[in-house]
Amino acid sequence: MEFETVIGLEIHAQMKTKSKIFCGCSTEFGAPPNTHTCPVCLGMPGSLPVLNKKVVENGIKLALSCGFTINKRNQFARKNYFYPDLPKGYQISQFELPIAEHGQIDIEVNGTEKTIGITRAHMEEDAGKLVHDDVEPESYVDLNRTGTPLLEIVSEPDLRSPEEAVAYLKKLHAIVRYLDISDGNMQEGSFRCDANISLRPMGQEELGTRTELKNMNSFKNVQLALEYEERRQRDILLDGGSVTQATLLWNPDKNRTESMRGKEEAHDYRYFPDPDLVPVVIDEQWIEQVRSGLPELPDQRRQRFIQALGLPPDDAALITASRELADFFEAVCEEYNNPKKVSNFIGTELLREYGPEQISQCPVSALQLAALLLMVEKGTISGKIAKTVFAEMLTTGADPEKIVKEKGLIQMSDEGELVALVREIIEANPEQARQYRDGKTKVIGFFVGQLMQKTKGKANPQLANKLFSKELQ
Ligand code: ADP
Ligand code: MG
Ligand code: ZN
């Protein structure tokens, strides 16, 4: 029996604002516990929330970037539940009237494009954090995170495989980072995802019973957790059993999902409009003002790199994976206008050491990389030596000219200098020389290799080839 996988994602993106959503407390990560708190985010009776305008602006930015309809009048609602990290006894969220509905983004998996619907995006506040003591049977409550602004983005159940889910997640991650509305740090929890997954017999319209997976703090874990859960549900269904609706936690150490809570604990949140907050009214002028400040988005930038710069689609996708990387690439191209060569070098030598999100930590500046590539272009050093020099630049941050000079890596492009060595090598290898003259011209590779060894890779390879074929005749 064939099954179809159905996945829908709920993403929480922490907004990159200086202060919290309803008070002036700082959102800075890693401060001593309970130092970024005030009566509002501690939920003191009588305190009143005041909405942070920046949060709404971020919501508008996302909405405009993903084809959402903006609800020009939207409303905060109280989501009631009891938990020790939630001092008010309710979370301020949006329910019936979220800021944005009916969005979509395009993803590409194995060369196939597909549009994924986004049901809604709404603004809400984060809860605090519980820290459980490893030894004592005690727990601590840190309310620094309470009131941190979030955008929750809920997809339609349009995803059909773990690969599609990860592609969607990566696309949204890139978008919020391009928009600079979230830092997207998955380890620190500022970009979290819950995945709902179910299977149904191929061809069946009705959705199967789903499980919800939590606690996946990397793209890799989302992929692994969904693959695991897909297998687990398939095995149950093939056995004639039925899947139990549940919330499961991904355990990355044991590579499996574990039960967190069952359906019997499903909540009734008793949502109602928050009487402390007036409805949010967004006028056309504000929308247009935000629209005019939008940056170029990943898809647009990729298209421009393909069309205007002539990059192959795969290279363009790689280079636009993050805004920093695309900026870095363009800065290099400004000095050395050869996009294909720049993207090749970045794709192999730079991305091997630094991921697309880590470019700001790379000690090599765009100017320095351009200088290095220009040295190859001018024939000062070979492409091979350039890789060695770059590795050194990555560790020391030194200028390529300095490294090349200090280590004596300048390419040997002088015929007179090389021809003596070429003759010496031919003389020392009469057997290979005879093979060459007998028509086995491929042995020229052997000779060039010998010369490279002797010159520590500094001989100009084109010149070496030319000299050997001339001297061997
Ligand atoms: P809840 O609020 O209880 O988490 P929602 O109906 O809002 O439930 O759905 C949450 C997410 O789960 C959405 O992304 C939705 O697309 C997805 N989803 C809903 N039903 C299914 C299903 N049967 N299989 C897979 N995903 C589903
Ligand atoms: Mg849910
Ligand atoms: Zn506060």
**CA 432 to mean position of chain CA atoms:** 52
Q: Is the pLDDT of residue 353 over 60?
A: yes
Residue type, 464: A
Ligand nearest, relative to CA of residue 93: 1
For residue 412, what is the DSSP state? B
Domain for residue 8, yes or no?
yes
Residues 428 and 400 grouped into a single domain: no
**CA 363 to mean position of chain CA atoms:** 20
Q: Tell which one of 118, 158, 196 to mutate to probe ligand 1, the residue whose CB is within 8 A of the most ligand atoms.
A: 196
Ligand 1 pocket, 4 CB below 6 A?
no
Residues 178 and 66 grouped into a single domain: yes
What is the H or E stretch that residue 377 is in? helix 366-377
**Distance from residue 97's CA to the centre of ligand 3 (Å):** 25
Ligand nearest, relative to CA of residue 5: 1
What is the Cα–Cα distance from 472 to 306, expressed in whole angstroms? 45
Give the pLDDT score at 1. 79
- Predicted confidence (pLDDT) per residue in 182-199, tens digit: 999 998 889 999 999 999
Residues 264 and 307 grouped into a single domain: no
Q: Is the pLDDT of residue 262 over 80?
A: no
Bridge-based pairing of strands 3-14 and 191-201 is: antiparallel
| DSSP helix/strand/coil, 447 | helix
What is the Cα–Cα distance from 143 to 131, expressed in whole angstroms? 11
Q: Domain boundary residue among 229, 260, 285?
A: 285
Ligand 1 pocket, 266 CB below 6 A?
no
Domain ranges, residue 24: 3-285
Give the pLDDT score at 408. 82
Quote the mean pLDDT of the chain.
Answer: 94
Quickly list DSSP for 282-328. --HHHHHHHHHTPPPPHHHHHHHHHHTT---HHHHHHHTSSHHHHHH
User: Residue 10 CA: which ligand 1 atom is closest?
Assistant: 14
Q: Is the pLDDT of residue 62 over 60?
A: yes
How does residue 456 score in pLDDT terms, banded at 50, 70 and 90?
confident
Ligand 1 pocket, 154 CB below 6 A?
yes
**Distance from residue 287's CA to the centre of ligand 1 (Å):** 30
Residues 7 and 132 grouped into a single domain: yes
What is the Cα–Cα distance from 269 to 321, expressed in whole angstroms? 38
Domain for residue 153, yes or no?
yes
For residue 277, what is the DSSP state? S
- Predicted confidence (pLDDT) per residue in 406-448, tens digit: 888 888 878 888 899 999 999 999 999 999 999 998 999 999 9
Q: Domain boundary residue among 236, 263, 285?
A: 285
Q: Is the pLDDT of residue 473 over 90?
A: no
Q: Is the pLDDT of residue 250 over 70?
A: yes
Closest CA to 36 of 121, 124, 128: 128
The fraction of the chain above a pLDDT of 90, given in percent, is 85
Give the pLDDT score at 281. 98
Residues 230 and 181 grouped into a single domain: yes
Tell me the CATH number at 455.
Answer: 1.10.10.410
What is the H or E stretch that residue 116 is in? strand 112-125
Residues 331 and 281 grouped into a single domain: no
Secondary structure of 79-111 in the HEC alphabet? EECCCCCCCCCEEEEECCCCCEEEEEEEEEECC
Q: Tell which one of 3, 4, 10, 271 to mutate to probe ligand 1, the residue whose CB is within 8 A of the most ligand atoms.
A: 10
**Distance from residue 291's CA to the centre of ligand 2 (Å):** 31
Residue type, 126: D
Q: Domain boundary residue among 223, 253, 285?
A: 285
As given in the structure block, the two tokens for residue 196 are: 């709902």
Ligand 1 pocket, 197 CB below 6 A?
yes
Closest CA to 446 of 460, 464, 471, 419: 464
Domain for residue 359, yes or no?
yes
pTM here is: 0.84
Residue 403 class from Cβ within 10 Å (0-12 exposed, 13-18 middle, 19+ buried)?
buried
User: Residue 157 CA: which ligand 1 atom is closest?
Assistant: 16
What's the average model confidence in pLDDT over 132-142?
93
Residues 274 and 167 grouped into a single domain: yes
Ligand 1 pocket, 296 CB below 6 A?
no
Domain for residue 290, yes or no?
no
Ligand 1 pocket, 156 CB below 6 A?
yes
What is the Cα–Cα distance from 319 to 174, expressed in whole angstroms? 12
Give the pLDDT score at 428. 94
Give the pLDDT score at 265. 58
Residue type, 209: T
What is the Cα–Cα distance from 449 to 455, expressed in whole angstroms? 10
Residues 427 and 400 grouped into a single domain: no
Distances in whole angstroms, Cα of residue 449 to Cα of each of 421, 442, 457, 458: 12, 12, 9, 11
Q: Name which residue sits closest to atom 5 of ligand 1, judged by CA.
A: 154
How does residue 215 score in pLDDT terms, banded at 50, 70 and 90?
confident
What's the average model confidence in pLDDT over 347-367?
94
Give the pLDDT score at 415. 85
- Predicted confidence (pLDDT) per residue in 11-34, tens digit: 999 999 999 999 999 999 889 999
Give the pLDDT score at 462. 85
- Predicted confidence (pLDDT) per residue in 364-402, tens digit: 999 999 999 999 998 888 888 899 999 999 999 999 999
Residues 306 and 355 grouped into a single domain: yes
Q: Is the pLDDT of residue 263 over 60?
A: no
Give the pLDDT score at 369. 97
Domain for residue 278, yes or no?
yes
Ligand nearest, relative to CA of residue 213: 2
Residues 231 and 363 grouped into a single domain: no
Domain for residue 81, yes or no?
yes
Closest CA to 364 of 337, 379, 342: 342
- Residues pairing with 212 in the sheet: 196, 247
For residue 441, what is the DSSP state? G
User: What are the φ/ψ torsions at residue 93 (nearest 5 degrees)?
Assistant: -140, -165
| DSSP helix/strand/coil, 250 | strand
Regarding predicted confidence, which is higher, 304 or 459?
304
Count of domains forming the chain: 3
Domain for residue 443, yes or no?
yes
What is the Cα–Cα distance from 402 to 409, expressed in whole angstroms? 10
Ligand 1 pocket, 153 CB below 6 A?
no
Quickly list DSSP for 120-153. EEEEEE---EEEE-SSSS-EEEE-SSTT-EEEEE
Residue 205 class from Cβ within 10 Å (0-12 exposed, 13-18 middle, 19+ buried)?
exposed
Ligand 1 pocket, 8 CB below 6 A?
yes
Range of weakest confidence among 294-298, 318-322, 386-390, 406-410: 406-410
Q: Is the pLDDT of residue 264 over 70?
A: no
Ligand 1 pocket, 210 CB below 6 A?
yes
Residues 424 and 380 grouped into a single domain: no
Residues 45 and 75 grouped into a single domain: yes
Domain for residue 291, yes or no?
no
Ligand 1 pocket, 176 CB below 6 A?
no
Tokens 């050869």 locate to 338
Which residues have CB under 8 Å from 218's CB, separation 6+?
186, 187
What is the H or E stretch that residue 446 is in? helix 444-454
